[in-house]
């Protein structure tokens, strides 16, 4: 059943045997821009490697000290396990915070970030509070089930954890939309309505978020499921650097995510992948003992790292499908190519990063691969 469901989720509307023609990097992007983008991304890539290594080391240290921490609390097992788990996550956040500051410094130096260091620290603190609230719920579910069901707790915990994620995806778009505003351009609103009909995406809310005070990067994303599905466009996409046709393709891409229910399918993938992870956790750590909670979190962190290539491959398939739907909806491959070149210029994305970076860190196809898809779509249309 697990394999059957995974195969269903794996399917996309992109032709199974689509061949991407080779497109020379130098013919698409200027050598100077490519060199600048590679220099920018290399430090961020290695910053991630070191931060990940440090976080795993912190988990390992706390896994060894877990028993001592739990004994000092003098709480009931479930309560002690929750407190030890939250303390572990806070320590890991603290030791990786300097790497977030380094990333901000590098982005500010290259004109990508406009955030102050104070704002970065405040945002990171708020992110910790949000993550802690979610972790509190998840730890409570896992530990209560472990005390009732023993080592088989993971079987019941998997669906419950997925249900929590589903609720978050229903509620979070309402919070994310606070401070956003409707699309101001009447012509762009007409384009959106046309794309919604062509792509059978329904009528999700499309909002604009003012991020120009924080970044020069241009972006858009789709969030939510069912009645809360919506598309958020950064106002940096509408500041004149991108043409109306390019913005139209971005919206067509995001509506493709909505039409194909990629957020909901992502939750289904999470439900499938979380089961083997929790199974391994149950085998390695008896979470009925509070002192083993840091070890359980270490196992989860390692499992997430091991599954990162799988998760990124799934994400890239869905992003490719959204590109394909956007091309069919806009019928404008030239605009899509200009957009991908523009993203490299404004966000300093490496058009063709090293293999290990693409496998571990890229949840989108490379800009060069996306340009190649426009060529493949155009070639298929001309036949």
> Residue 304 and residue 307: Cα distance in Å, rounded?
5
Q: Where are the alpha helices (DSSP H) in the chain?
A: 2-10, 25-28, 31-73, 77-109, 117-149, 153-176, 186-199, 244-259, 262-284, 293-330, 333-347, 355-361, 367-382
Give the residue carrying structure tokens 């290539």.
Answer: 309
Tell me whether residue 3 is in a domain.
no
Which H or E element spans position 14?
none
Tell me whether residue 224 is in a domain.
yes
> Tell me: the pLDDT tens digits for 15-49?
988 999 999 888 899 999 999 999 999 999 999 99
First and final C-alpha spacing in the chain = 39
Would you state the structure tokens that stand for residue 344, as one six-digit string? Answer: 């490299």
Q: Are 40 and 110 in contact (CB under 8 A)?
A: yes
DSSP code per residue over 331-343 = --HHHHHHHHHHH
DSSP code per residue over 71-122 = HHH---HHHHHHHHHHHHHHHHHHHHHHHHHHHHHHHHHTTSB---HHHHHH
CA atoms within 13 A of residue 156's CA, in its CB half-sphere: 13
Tell me whether residue 350 is in a domain.
yes
CA atoms within 13 A of residue 200's CA, in its CB half-sphere: 3
Give the residue carrying structure tokens 């959204």.
Answer: 322
Tell me whether residue 192 is in a domain.
yes
Tell me whether residue 327 is in a domain.
yes
Query: Vertex 358, ends 352 and 363: CA angle to 5°?
Result: 110
* Positions in the chain short of pLDDT 50: none
Would you state the structure tokens that stand for residue 341, as one six-digit string? Answer: 């070149």
Query: Residue 182 has what DSSP assignment?
Result: E
Which pLDDT score, from 0 to 100, does residue 382 have? 62
Which pLDDT score, from 0 to 100, does residue 156 have? 96
Residue 190, Cβ density class (10 Å: 0-12 exposed, 13-18 middle, ≥19 buried):
exposed
> Residue 379 and residue 58: Cα distance in Å, rounded?
51
Residue 72, Cβ density class (10 Å: 0-12 exposed, 13-18 middle, ≥19 buried):
exposed
Which pLDDT score, from 0 to 100, does residue 346 have? 94
Q: Are 6 and 270 in contact (CB under 8 A)?
A: no
Tell me whether residue 4 is in a domain.
no
Which pLDDT score, from 0 to 100, does residue 110 have? 96
Tell me whether residue 175 is in a domain.
yes
Query: Taking each helix axis from N to C terminus, what angle separates 77-109 and 117-149, rounded to the nearest 10 degrees?
Result: 150
> Residue 102 and residue 48: Cα distance in Å, rounded?
10
Give the residue carrying structure tokens 């001309």.
Answer: 382
Q: SS3 of 29, please?
A: coil
Please tell me the total count of domains within the chain: 1
Which pLDDT score, from 0 to 100, does residue 24 have? 87
Tell me whether residue 15 is in a domain.
no
| Number of other residues whose CB lies within 10 A of the CB of residue 62 | 22
Range of the domain at 275: 29-382
Which pLDDT score, from 0 to 100, does residue 371 have? 96
């Amino acid at each position: 059943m697990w394999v059957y469901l995974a195969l269903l989720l794996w399917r996309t509307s992109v032709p199974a045997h689509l061949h991407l023609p080779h497109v020379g990097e130098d013919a698409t992007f200027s050598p100077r821009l490519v060199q600048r983008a590679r220099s920018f991304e290399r430090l961020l890539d290695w910053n991630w490697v070191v931060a990940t290594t440090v976080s795993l080391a912190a988990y390992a240290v706390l896994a060894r000290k877990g028993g001592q921490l739990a004994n000092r609390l003098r709480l009931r097992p479930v309560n002690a396990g929750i407190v030890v788990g939250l303390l572990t996550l806070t320590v890991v956040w603290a030791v990786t915070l300097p790497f977030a500051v380094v990333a901000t410094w590098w982005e500010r130096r290259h004109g990508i970030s406009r955030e102050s260091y104070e704002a970065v620290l405040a945002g990171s603190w708020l992110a910790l509070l949000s993550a802690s609230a979610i972790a509190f719920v998840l730890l409570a579910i896992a530990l209560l089930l472990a005390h009732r069901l023993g080592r088989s707790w993971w079987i019941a915990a998997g669906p419950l954890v997925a249900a929590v994620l589903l609720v978050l995806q229903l509620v979070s778009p309402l919070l994310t939309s606070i401070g956003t505003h409707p699309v101001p351009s009447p012509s762009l609103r007409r384009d959106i309505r046309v794309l919604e009909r062509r792509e059978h995406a329904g009528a999700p809310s499309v909002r604009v978020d003012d991020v120009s005070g924080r970044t020069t990067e241009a972006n858009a994303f789709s969030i939510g499921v069912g009645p809360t599905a919506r598309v958020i466009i950064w106002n940096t996409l509408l500041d004149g650097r991108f043409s109306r046709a390019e913005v139209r393709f971005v919206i067509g891409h995001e509506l493709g995510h909505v039409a194909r229910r990629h957020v909901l399918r992502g939750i289904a993938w999470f439900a499938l992948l979380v089961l083997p992870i929790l199974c391994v956790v149950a085998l390695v750590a008896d979470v009925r003992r509070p002192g083993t909670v840091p070890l359980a979190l270490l196992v989860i962190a390692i499992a997430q790292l091991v599954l990162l290539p799988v998760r990124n491959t799934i994400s890239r398939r869905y992003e490719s499908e959204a590109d394909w739907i956007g091309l069919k909806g806009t019928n404008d491959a030239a605009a899509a190519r200009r957009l991908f070149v523009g993203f490299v210029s404004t966000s300093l994305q490496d058009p063709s990063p090293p293999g290990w970076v693409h496998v571990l860190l890229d949840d989108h196809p490379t800009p060069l691969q996306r340009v190649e898809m426009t060529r493949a779509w155009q070639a298929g249309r001309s036949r």
